[in-house]
């Protein structure tokens, strides 16, 4: 949901970030961190780590936006550099590369979402840093919109498939590039 709301601003359908902040805090951050704890309890480490990490990302982005909006007082330009968000995007991009390889072995929908995230993050970073901002802003907008659409599909598939106990909405088989180790064999 939050990626759709954020994409609406990047696509030019809405303006500003003030009203995106609650969506980022509650659905982007809070809901994903809550879902992360549920997945940890179910020993689903893929979901737990991914949801937790991106939940924390959205919380930090929301705080960044709130600071730039002056919610916590006037910003001293000598003490603030908004380009630091670009380096956070680069860091998350590095993290997301590893997650993408795991997503390839989860299902095709998750793989597509992670590929799009790995387009979004460097595009945001380059746009923030002023590198061909029109191109990278557009790439960020379209990839974020794609993430939201595939995210809605994945949420619907997980819910409906679980509820009905069969594949109502297919997620696609794992890609099979990397085989998981046999659970009975301990890594050295």
Residue 180 is predicted with a pLDDT of: 75
Predicted confidence at residue 177, as pLDDT, reads: 87
Using alpha carbons, list the distances in angstroms from residue 66 to 80, 97, 101. Answer: 13, 28, 33
pLDDT for 75: 87
Residue 185 pLDDT: 65
- The pLDDT of residue 184 is 67
Question: Model pTM?
Answer: 0.91
For the chain, 188 residues long, give each residue's pLDDT as a single digit of tens.
999 999 999 999 999 999 999 999 999 999 999 999 999 999 999 999 999 999 999 999 999 999 989 999 998 888 888 899 999 999 999 999 999 999 999 999 999 999 999 999 999 999 999 999 999 999 999 999 999 999 999 999 999 999 999 999 999 999 988 887 776 666 66
pLDDT at res. 186 = 67
Which pLDDT value is given to residue 76? 86
For 120-144, b where at least 16 C-beta lie within 10 A, e where not — what string? Answer: bbbbbbbbbbeeeeeebbbbbbbbb
Q: How many helices (H) and strands (E) does the chain have?
A: 7, 0
CB 40, CB 51: distance < 8 Å = no
């Amino acid at each position: 949901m939050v990626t759709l709301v954020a994409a609406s601003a990047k696509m030019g359908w809405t303006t500003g970030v003030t009203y995106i902040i609650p969506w980022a805090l509650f659905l982007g951050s809070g809901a994903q961190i809550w879902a992360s704890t549920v997945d940890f309890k179910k020993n689903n480490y893929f979901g737990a780590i991914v949801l937790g990490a991106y939940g924390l990302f959205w919380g930090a982005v929301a705080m960044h936006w709130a600071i730039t909006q002056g919610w916590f007082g006037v910003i001293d330009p000598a003490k603030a550099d908004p380009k630091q968000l670009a380096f956070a995007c680069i860091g998350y991009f590095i993290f997301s590369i590893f997650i993408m390889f795991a997503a390839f072995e989860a299902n095709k929908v998750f793989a597509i979402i992670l590929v799009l995230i790995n387009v979004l993050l460097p595009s945001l970073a380059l746009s923030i840093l002023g590198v061909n901002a029109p191109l990278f802003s557009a790439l960020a907008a379209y990839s974020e919109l794609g993430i939201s659409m595939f995210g809605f599909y994945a949420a619907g598939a997980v819910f409906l498939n679980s509820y009905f106990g069969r594949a109502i909405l297919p997620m696609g088989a794992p890609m099979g590039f990397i085989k998981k180790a046999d659970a009975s064999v301990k890594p050295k």
